[in-house]
Structure 1
Amino acid sequence: MSQNIPKPAIKRLASLYPMLSKLLEEGQKSLSSQELGTLVGAPAHTIRKDFSYLKDKPISTGTYNLSELRDVIGAALGLTSKSKTCIVGLGELGQAIMNYPVLLGDNYNLVAGFDTNINRLEILKTPLPLFPAYELPEVVAQKQILLGILAVDTAYVDKSLQRMIEGGIKGILNLSPIILPEQIESVQIRNIFLSGELNLLEGLIKNST
């Protein structure tokens, strides 16, 4: 990212962005840095430091204008236009995301789905264009897809990952059972491992008393 925002700050700003949209919809117009920090579980000074990395720094008069703040964060993180996204793996999890694209939020345009099972591609009823997995690199390059959601079984992770990178995908949301490195070549990866998150929650609960 050209503004050289540290990764922890990017994570907090990315989490804050949709919250600001919801607050604005509810009629909230401004909040203090302490109130903003509470939303993402960070102290006020950390939030102010995060804002200092932004090229167009939001103005504070004790509170921040939420509309201005959302616009500044959106511009810094590239959220002002929709990014093309695809799903790789159309099992039950992939189908759930495909059938409910609202889960992805307003900033992502789902433009393709891929699966190794040709029969599955033929019977699925969806307006989303579907393709066999071997066509992934060509379709991704042709459609200029930026992001991919990886929802395949363990046996297909390596080949799917290779195809996504070959096609030019720059970011992968990994929902597969295998935890991948946070970066492979020039591709950024985020792992969402449900059982691991549940383990973390249970550990936090049992160690909070």
Structure 2
Amino acid sequence: MRADAQRNATRLRVAAAELFQVRGLQVSVKEIARHAGVSHGTLYNLFGSREALIDEVVADLAAVRLGDAARKALACDDPWQGFSGYVGEVCELQATDPALGDVLTRRFPDASRLMAVCDNSYAAAESIIDRARRDGSLRPDFTAADLLFFLASHAPLARSAAASGSDSWRRAVGFMLDGLRASAANPLPADPMTPQEINHLLIEGSTAAAG
């Protein structure tokens, strides 16, 4: 790669990281290119797509942050504390870090590295949930798909609340966790969605919002 192309690639990575940090991963190619001081054609020439740039900028950081949260949860001696701590930490990322908050929504299926991070996070969540279910502290009908549904629903409101200086999103998380204790369980009126159904719902919702 020529020196000028390397400089432009670096500027685009920095610009994308800055905008993703403030506004999440929905930022357009034109906005990223304008912030970097280059044409959006330059972005396409260097990276091929916004999703490829997302992979360059976000995937490694997301893998570290989400991986750390999962390892902490699985290392916790108390399975319920591990589970509730994990949920709280992920929800805090959604509230305070728009880029990482968007990761688990799976709305960028063409960002292959990021999707691999999501797959690993989902597998870790299954292990965290299974520990708490087997311990008898988490209601037995709760699944990783249910957690993903909650996280996708929680993300936009948590971000808006945090941006306005409110930590009211923590109340929603607290209410949800209290309702997930085995002692609070009652029969539910519907079956959980499958991971495939959740993914389809998230991608379709993202497409509708973009349109």
Q: Which has the higher contact order (CA 8 A, sep 6+)?
A: 2
Q: Which has the higher helix share?
A: 2
Answer whether TM exceeds 0.5 for this pair: no
Into which bin does the TM-score normalised by the smaller protein fall?
under 0.3
